């Protein structure tokens, strides 16, 4: 079934949505399983005049943007994340962000963060505490392995197997791997091609 035939089945509901709501074409397309262009073409063919969006109280896009802007550290939410959350294209996003900024309803920085930009570390620690915990685990595993080598619990020349160390320390392989990499920099262990990692400190 083509797009036109698909829209004929939901014609009455679609016309009602177009005439009585300000739902964007993109979201209507997702609702009815067609493209934004198909909804736009249908609207033009029928000569439907859509109601003007009254910003900002009756505009669903503006209300969605304001809700996100009220979240803690919203200035550090990337523009792409916001667009994905609200199902917006670039044009609709810029248009509504511009209106809200002019009215002073959102921060001038909100929606301006590019996905590639780095979030400041202090904000990162507060928003993503799990990442901070992971770093602590990495450090604890590194310290533990280092002490075991310095105290002779891991002997010079002994092969270090990540799986076994992870099991004995009750952690995943990732912090063990990170710890061994740091120990290689400290020259306490050495990595041999096709053989593995060995302790290189001690008598």
- Note the pLDDT tens digit of each residue in 9-66: 788 888 888 888 878 888 888 888 888 888 888 888 888 888 776 566 667 788 888 8
Rounded distance, CA 61 to CA 94, Å? 11
Asked whether the beta carbons of 34 and 62 are under 8 A apart, the reply is no
Query: In this predicted model, what pLDDT tens digit does every residue of 53-104 receive, in sequence order?
Result: 656 666 778 888 888 888 877 777 878 888 888 888 888 888 888 888 888 8
Neighbours of 111 (CB within 10 A): 25
Q: Does domain 129-199 have CATH number 3.40.50.12280?
A: no
Can you give the residue ranges of every domain in the chain?
3-46, 54-119, 129-199
pTM of the model: 0.37
> Is a pLDDT exceeding 90 seen at residue 181?
yes
CB–CB of 150/201 below 8 Å?
yes
Calpha distance 178→166 (Å, rounded): 12
């Amino acid at each position: 079934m083509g797009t036109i035939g698909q829209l004929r089945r939901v014609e009455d509901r679609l016309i009602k949505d177009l005439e009585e709501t300000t739902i964007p074409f993109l979201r209507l397309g997702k609702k009815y399983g067609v493209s934004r262009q198909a909804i736009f073409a249908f609207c033009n063919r029928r000569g439907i005049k859509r109601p003007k969006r009254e910003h900002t109280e009756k505009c669903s896009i503006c209300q969605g943007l304001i809700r996100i802007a009220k979240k803690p550290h919203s200035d550090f939410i990337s523009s792409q994340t916001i667009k994905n959350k609200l199902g917006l294209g670039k044009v609709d996003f810029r248009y509504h962000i511009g209106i809200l900024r002019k009215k002073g309803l959102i921060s001038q920085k909100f929606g301006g963060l590019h996905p590639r930009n780095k979030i400041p570390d202090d904000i990162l620690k507060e928003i993503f505490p799990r990442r901070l915990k992971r770093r602590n685990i990495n450090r604890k595993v590194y310290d533990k392995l280092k002490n075991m080598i310095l105290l002779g619990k891991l002997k010079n020349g002994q092969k270090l197997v990540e799986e076994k160390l992870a099991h004995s320390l009750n952690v995943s392989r990732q912090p063990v791997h990170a710890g061994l990499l740091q120990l290689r920099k400290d020259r306490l262990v050495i990595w041999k091609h096709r053989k593995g990692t060995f302790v290189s400190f001690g008598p």
